[in-house]
Structure 1
Amino acid sequence: MGRPDKKAKKRGIRRLFTWKKILGTLFAFCLIGMGALYTVYLLVPVPSANAEATMQSNIYQYSNGKILARTGEINREIVDLEKIPLPVQRAFVAAENKTFYKDNGVDIKGTTRAAWNTLTGKGKQGGSTITQQYVKNFYLSQDQTATRKLKEMVIAVKVDEEMSKPDILAGYINTSYYGRSAYGIQAAARSYYGTDAAKLTTAQGAYLASLLQAPNQYDWTSASATGRKLVEERWNYVLDNMVEMGWLPAAERAGLKFPVPREPKPLPGMEGQTGYIVEAANQELMRQGVSEEDIKAGGWTITLNIDERKQKDLVAAVDKQLEAKLDRKGDKKDATVQAGATSVDPRTGAVVAMYGGVGATEHWMSNATRRDFQPASTFKPIVLASAVDNRSTTQDGREIGLGTVYNGDSKRPVVGSKIHYAPENEDDYSYGPVSVQRATDKSINAVYAQMIVDVGEEKTKKTALSLGMKDGQDFDPTPAMALGTMGASTLDMAGAYATLDNHGVKVTPALVKTAQHRDRQVETVRQTGEQVISRRAADTVTRAMRGVVDNGSGFRAAGDYEAAGKTGTSENNRSAWFVGYTPELVTAVALFGEDTSGKIAEQVTLTDTIEPGRANGGGFPAQIWGAYTERALNGGSDAEFDLETGGYDSGRDTEPTATGSPTATDEPTQEPTSTATTPPARTTTAPTPPTTAPTTAPPTPTEDPATTPPPTQEPTREPTNTATVQPPDPEVPDSGGDQGVLPPSRTTQQPR
């Protein structure tokens, strides 16, 4: 009984959906769609040039409102298409739109394919023709919306009807952004190859055409390894397309080599420190979500945290302490010395001063923000911070604090690591039993290599990242990490030390105070945040680093203020550092060895450059730091560190003796020949050190710390008032060490 009903329903459906009706409906929809498109075509006019075509200036000002710089003038020079070599013209067509000379301004097939690939997860693709991109550059905004895309397609069709293909191509090449503040092919040719567009080679033109896909990512001189790989693949793709189109002989193509561009140079007006500061501010804004194109479009008022007076103080300190003693033009070795510095207010995170180098027009890469040099022993305090924060113990179960005794023998293999590591101390000195405080003062490699194993390399790295260091190349969790083998900038180190100065509360250095556009304001960096390490850990490290300035390798940084700091000299003496702070100011100063005489800059040694022998963090960096800090604090300060160490500084001023073990001496049997220099004395009175002996047993130099028997005699306090020359800061070249001459008693004559 039910079957006739089903047949009746099927007949009803067939009558409702016949092929004629379906085709008719589709045809009607097509007519409606075509009518709608034609209506849009009639209603959408070709507009006037967009705001980007008449870009505005950006204003950068000091924290007090005084203008530092104005930028934003378009770096563009329009050139006629006939002045651009034909192979270069064709390279742009091969890169972006092979159907350019045949299409009517819109490539429906390419647009459909790009949309399908985007929807199916094969990556976001544009599918725009050269005409569409020219329309977007010159008439429309960069917004990725359906409405803008529809307007772009309609206007592209009209422009294609009104303009010739050569004029469209010329407009596209002259309005596109190539990175490095270069708009148009003429500016790009000068920026990347130091030549006019008329003299570009085919290989160079193919590179500039490749840049347009991702100008920031594909700039060879600043690109990551991935970026370089991608742009080289893009370059090959362009040339292969030219061969396919019959525009480039295969034999000529086979002989072309990738044309590495030259280092970037700043626009006029960016001389001195201005260019470094402006570029660093732009980079910070981009990290906050502002696109580079948006910044270049102008209209921004950017107020910096840079203190005008402190900025001048920092430049003056570098000029007097370093530049006045260098002959950059007449001495090739002097020319390799580069200085960088960053100064931060630990209470707010404000970057109050920055030194990027001799000048942005002479040396474009900022020495303040570069991360390609090792921070060396300035990383050791972070190891100690991690030890205290994690309540770490030695191999034989003793809790690590400033009074904890370690074996300070040179080349002693670390215990407890799967990786064999036996670092050499400076001048291969063996110190036998030595406290953590003294190991910090003298920067003993053997002690800190063992300490990072005791703490755990991964835990130490976690502490470093929480303090603000960046996880980049060579930040490998190995025992060698204790000697600062990773890359870091003065900005990174100033931020990490600022967090220590701020009792473990995170300080994120911020260069930009406010960034306002006429229609919006950018949210700036949150400069202080949560407690990332315990106060006792941060304050214990501060206590330890006070010893470095008062009695150790950083004595040249001492002045009429309380200060804590650490010296550092990297492998092969390629960099020398002093990073330190007072309760009010944190500053990182570094010297880098860099030979820029060739096509590619190379890291070189600082040995026998600014002074005979090795450069060291306790030398010129500490002197620059001291001179700047004295100026910045108006000659001195009564501010004192408010430290809560929780007892982790107990025994820091005592040193063990081990008369029962002939090899475990408190001092090396022979001291180096060196000239002693006394640091300037503070007017304040140093706290009285404890006189009690440490209760832990020191290991002997020749035995594992876990099996070392206790000494037969109670440790005695190390003498602090003697004119005897002490051994130099025990760090070794090639092992991340630093070198400095320890002062005798502060009752002797002060250094000049």
Structure 2
Amino acid sequence: MGRADERRARQRGGRRAAPRNRSSRAAAPPSRTEDVTAAEAATSAAAGGRAAARRSARKGAKGTKGEKGRIRRLFTWKKMLGTFLGLCVLVIGAFVALYITTPIPDTANADAQLQSNVYKYSDGTLVTRDGKLNRENVDLADVPEAVQHTFVAAENKTFYDDAGVDLRGTARGMLNTLMGKGAQGGSTITQQYVKNYYLTQEQTVTRKLKELVISLKLDREKSKNYILAGYINTSYYGRGAYGIQAAAQAYYRVDADKLTVEQGAYLAALLQAPSQYDWAVASENGKKLVQNRWNYVLNNMVEEKWLDKAERDAMEFPIPKEPKAAPGQEGQVGYLVDAANSELERQLVAQGVAESSKEAEAMVNAGGWNITLNIEKKKQKALERSVKEQLTSKLDKKKRSVDGDVQAGAVSVNPKTGAVVAMYGGVNYVEHYTNNATRTDYQPASTFKPVILAAAFDQGAETQDGDKITANTIYDGTSKRPVVGSDIGFAPENEDDVDYGDVTVQTAMNKSINSVFAQMGVDVGMDKVIQVAGDLGMDTEDLKAVPAQTLGTMGASPLQMAGVYATLDNHGKKVTPTLIKSAENSAHAVKPAEPIGEQVISREAADSVTSVLTGVVDDGTAQRSVRDNPLRKGQKVAGKTGTSDDNKSAWFTAYTPDLVTSVGLFGESAKPPHPQVTLTGATGLIPGKGRINGGGYPAQIWAAYTFGVSSKVTRFDLETDQGAAVQPPVTTSPSPSRSQEPSEEPSTEAPTTSAPPKTQTPSQTPTTQEPSEEPTTEEPSDEPTTGEPTTEEPENPLDPRLAQ
């Protein structure tokens, strides 16, 4: 067979005939045809393998498609739609069942029927009972229609047209409750009335569903006027006032039927945050917020055509009248009750019991709380007695009008527990509503200087020359000396414009030298100073990191400053003054705030500041009132005086190892709107010269109180090798006080020819010797000195030389 025949045979699938002689075939070498056949067989085998692989892949693909198919069959759009419709039927059915089984309650809830709050001293003895209902319902017809509209414009513009509920807002509220995010508003006037009057403030989905159902029913069964009347008659407006009649009297001394639109808009705005928006106690930010809210209400009225735009444009914000205290709140009682209520409200929000400050306030004022304070009865009475004996008994506003402008506030704290053991809010709560112990609108002045020093020690700060700042570092104490290294020019004047020349940091603290601490603040970095101030407990949210802050030009309260110094006393561990020991009612037991926190500055830094501050008492601005006080008996004391610009405030904040007390005197005009005024000349001191300094009345009050309640003499446990407590201070002679005004204004730019502040350290070796407490009998000179003071009282015990 030829080659052509073989090819044809292969193409037909045929084979060549086997050779007749097998042996001869076996012996013969393979032919070329056989080679080709073998190769083709291998190719065919490979092709077969690929085909098998394709068949296997097709089977696998069919399997995957099968799985997907089963999933598709399981989750078809028909089944999903059916499931969804089924759930909807279940939800609707459950809601229908809830609607049928939830009636409108016949009576108000227990919270709406106010009970008394009981306040006790730390030993369990009674302070007072508070919470008597102050409500007088009025018919809606007795409220001017325009005033009615202010509440609708403030809370629920669609009130007259809606079905009583906001489904979207309610759904959002339930979702937030489930997720623990708190409230985000959205309730209608009807829902708010139902919650306040029929239900409770409990934050649960069940309560929200009941609120929804009852609101729907109430809207169907009662008129809008009935609901609006119930809402404005049961809402809480602050100042202990429930209902619009009580609120009209509390804020404007008129009945509800005499309210103007402007006044009604303010009362409507109050409902969002009664305490925060009360003009008498609101912060500057709070006043801005309530004015914004007031404008919002009136603008909505114009939008709804309830108020003419021209009339609205002519309206001015109606400043409320001064509040009057409720009966039984005389003396210090009202201050303690208000401060305790505020702290309890913060804790209710912090612990998730209330969704907002507004709800927390309503819960507290609903009554039924048993509140035990940290106030110790003995210390409280001693503080009140000290203020009276050392200050208020010497005030006579009939003889001197300035005496009526003097306000005192004080707070005493246990630095180991954070407990507020005594508080003085003012001469009488029924005469002066504002709590001077918690107000933050006066400058702490030089009581801020220890904060600067704490920042320097904690940060390991260096001077402009690169030397580490210590108690013995030398600075230039020249008055009006421009600070070096600041982008903002600043050249502060020392008190009485005294030039001290080269002084140590210790002496600068003792004498409260402004120029030294202004430079130190720049050396440390004002941003770091402000940060440390916040860590220690001051409110620094809105403070700018500028050199002027070194003079204590921000606002602060005695409560805040007591916390700052308590943290220093507690070796740098944060102390948050806490007034409430325990608080509970039938539904809740509220934990007090954690008073002792983390280490905010190092122990060495805190102890070093304490050591330096002992020099203020033993050789500085507080020596006459504290060091030489016969009741001291060797008690160790660290503290700082402060006197603000124009003598509008005077401070003494100081501590022993076991007790921290901050005392502040504030000049507040007795005439509305009560602007800040000078204290100079009060108690008969020479007008224009008789400045009230921190080393005067504030230090006298502090000493009489602290030494009177101290049962034993204690010493500081300090881990430091610097400061007056471990070595005698290095003193230098100051330059004479300038007798004439400078011929030109001081420069506000950093000097180009002046040398940077001197930072050399004295060569003497620090010792551990205690400073001498034996005073000399040398007559004081007319100029400030840096030597030992005399024991003789000067003719004027509040000599301006004694303090800043």
More displaced stretch, 233-242 vs 371-380: 233-242
Q: How many residues are aligned here? A: 693
The amino acid across from 1:745 in the alignment is T
What TM-score, normalized to structure 1?
Answer: 0.82
Q: SS in structure 2 opposite 1:52?
A: coil
The offset of 1:557, in angstroms, is 2.0
Aligned partner (choices 97, 100, 106) of residue 39 of structure 1:
97
The answer on 1:520 being equivalent to 2:588 is: yes
Using a 3 Å threshold, how does the CA distance of structure 1 residues 189 and 704 change in structure 2: closer, same or farther?
Answer: same
Deviations 1:150-182 (A, max 9, x none): 322322233234433332221111111223332
Match of residue 654 from structure 1: 730
CA apart distance, 1:103 = 4.4
Query: 1:154–1:729: structure 2 CA closer, same or farther, 3 Å change rule?
Result: farther
Q: Are 1:342 and 2:397 matched, yes or no?
A: no
- Over 3 Å counting, the alpha-carbon distance change for 1:726 and 1:332 in structure 2 is same
The alignment's C-alpha RMSD in Å is 4.0
- The equivalent of 2:680 in structure 1 is 607
Q: 1:192 to 1:486 in 2, by over 3 A?
A: same
Instruction: Report the structure number with the largest CA radius of gyration.
Output: 2
- Give deviations 1:673-709, integer Å, cap 9, x for gaps: xxxxxxxxxxxxxxxxxxxxxxxxxxxxx95246799
Q: State the SS of the aligned residue for 2:112.
A: helix
Q: Secondary structure at the match of 1:288?
A: helix
What residue is the counterpart of 2:443 in the other structure?
374
Q: Return 462-471 or 485-494, whichever deviates more.
A: 462-471
Counterpart of 2:780 in structure 1 is 725
Q: Distance in 2 between matches of 1:501 and 1:284?
A: 23
Q: Does 1:618 align with 2:695?
A: yes
TM-fit CA distance, 1:330: 5.1
Q: Secondary structure at the match of 1:530?
A: strand
Match for residue 648 of structure 2? 574
Note closer, same or farther for the CA distance 1:625–1:61 as it changes in structure 2 (3 Å cut).
same
Q: In 2 relative to 1, CA 438–231 (structure 1 residues): closer, same or farther, beyond 3 Å? A: closer
Q: Secondary structure at the match of 2:549?
A: helix
Q: Which residue of structure 1 lines up, in the alignment, with residue 422 of structure 2?
A: 353
- The answer as to whether partners of 2:509 and 2:612 remain within 8 angstroms in 1 is yes
Structure 2 CA distance for partners of 1:164 and 1:367, relative to 1, 3 Å: same
* C-alpha distance 471-264 of structure 1, shift in aligned 2 (>3 A): farther
Is contact 1:118–1:125 with CA below 8 Å preserved after alignment?
no
Deviations 1:490-523 (A, max 9, x none): 1111111122222323322111111222333222
Q: Quick check: 1:314 aligned with 2:383? A: yes
1:218-257 equivalence runs, <5 A: 218-223=277-282, 227-257=286-316
Please say if residues 671 and 727 of structure 1, whose CA atoms lie closer than 8 Å, have aligned partners that are also in contact.
no
Deviation at 1:130, TM superposition (A): 2.8
What amino acid is the match of 1:470?
D
Tell me how far apart the structure 2 counterparts of residues 59 and 747 of structure 1 sit (CA, whole Å). Answer: 49
Q: Offset of 1:310 from its aligned partner?
A: 0.9
Within a 5 Å distance, the mapping from 1:489-500 to structure 2 comes to 489-500=557-568
Corresponding position of 2:130: 71
CA contact (8 A) 1:436 1:652 kept: no
Aligned pair in 2 of structure 1 residues 389, 112: CA closer, same or farther (>3 Å)?
closer
Change (3 A) 1:723 1:133: same
Letter in 1 for 2:718: L
Query: Deviations for 1:26-50, whole angstroms, at most 9, x for unmatched residues?
Result: 9988777665544332211122321
Q: Call closer, same or farther: CA 1:43–1:363 in 2, change over 3 Å.
A: same
Residue 631 in structure 1 maps to residue 708 in structure 2: yes
- Give how far 1:334 is off: 0.9
Q: Distance in 1 between matches of 2:270 and 2:760?
A: 67
Aligned-partner residue type, residue 615 of structure 1: I
Distance in 2 separating the partners of 1:58 and 1:353: 20
Secondary structure in structure 2 of the residue aligned to 1:477 = coil
TM-score, normalising length from structure 2? 0.77
Q: What is the match of residue 208 of structure 1?
A: 267
Distance 2:779 2:727 in 1: 23
1:700-724 alpha-carbon deviations (Å, 9 max, x no partner): xx95246799999999x99984614
Determine whether 1:667 maps to 2:734. yes
Which residue number in structure 1 is paired with residue 368 of structure 2?
299
Structure 1 contact 388–648 (Cα < 8 Å) conserved = no
In structure 2, relative to structure 1, the CA distance for the partners of 1:746 and 1:253 (3 Å cut) is closer
Cα distance in 1 between the residues matched to 2:758 and 2:88: 89
Give the structure with the higher percent helix.
2
Q: Is the 8 A contact 1:189 1:196 kept in 2?
A: yes
Deviation at 1:100, TM superposition (A): 3.6
Q: Percent identity?
A: 55
Structure 2: distance between partners of 1:391 and 1:29:
66
Partner of residue 578, structure 2: 510
Q: What is the DSSP-based 3-state SS (H/G/I as helix, E as strand, rest coil) of the residue aligned with 2:401?
A: coil
Which moves more between the two structures, 433-442 or 59-68? Answer: 433-442
Distance 1:592 1:749 in 2: 24
Match of 1:679 in 2: none
**Structure 1: segments with no counterpart, 5+ residues:** 657-665, 673-701, 731-740
Candidates 337, 347, 366, aligned match of 1:278: 337
8 Å CA contact retained: 1:64, 1:307: yes
1:38–1:423 Cα change, 3 Å: closer
Q: Which residue among 480, 483, 487 is the counterpart of 2:555?
A: 487
Unaligned runs of 5+ in 2: 1-57, 59-64, 350-359, 740-752, 798-804
Is residue 496 of structure 2 the alignment partner of residue 427 of structure 1?
Answer: yes
CA distance in 2, matches of 1:99, 1:23: 35
Match runs of 1:21-36 below 5 Å = 36=94
**Residues 728 and 350 of structure 1: is their aligned pair in 2 closer, same or farther, counting only changes over 3 Å?**
farther
8 Å CA contact 1:189–1:195 kept in 2: the answer is yes
Q: Report the Cα offset of residue 375 of structure 1.
A: 0.8
Amino acid at match of 2:546: T
Cα distance in 1 for residues equivalent to 2:671 and 2:373: 34
Between the aligned partners of 1:389 and 1:709, the Cα distance in structure 2 is 20
- 1:667 Cα deviation (Å)? 3.4
Alpha carbons 1:403, 1:651 under 8 Å: kept: no
Contact 2:419 2:579 in 1 (8 A): yes
Partners of 2:242 and 2:763 lie apart in 1 by: 77
Task: Name the SS for the 1:493 alignment partner.
Answer: helix
Cα distance in structure 2, aligned partners of 1:282 and 1:463: 29
- Residue 406 of structure 1 aligns to a residue in which SS? strand
Question: 2:791, 2:779 → 1: CA distance?
Answer: 12
| Kept after mapping to 2: 8 A contact 1:472/1:487 | no
Native 8 Å contact 1:725 1:743 kept in 2:
no
Within 5 A, what are the aligned runs for 1:84-95? Answer: 84-95=143-154
Deviation at 1:66, TM superposition (A): 0.8
Contact 1:181 1:296 in 2 (8 A): yes
Number of the residue aligned with 1:592: 666
Q: 2:193 aligns with which of 131, 134, 154?
A: 134
**1:73-132 CA-partner distances (Å, limit 9, x unpaired):** 22211112222222222332333344444444346688689999999xxx9754433333
CA distance in 2: counterparts of 1:439 and 1:218, whole angstroms: 42
SS class of match (2:682):
coil
| Matching residue of 2:217 | 158
Partner of residue 744, structure 1? 789
Aligned to 2:626: 557
Contact 2:776 2:788 in 1 (8 A): no
SS in 2 for 1:53: coil
Closer, same or farther: CA 727–451 of 1 in aligned 2, 3 Å: farther
- Mapped contact 2:115–2:132 kept (Cα < 8 A): yes
Which residue type is aligned with residue 484 of structure 2?
A: V
For 1:365 and 1:342, locate their aligned partners in 2 and report how far apart those are by CA, in whole Å: 15
**Structure 2 CA distance, aligned partners of 1:667 and 1:299?**
63
- Answer with 420-429 or 228-237: which moved more: 228-237
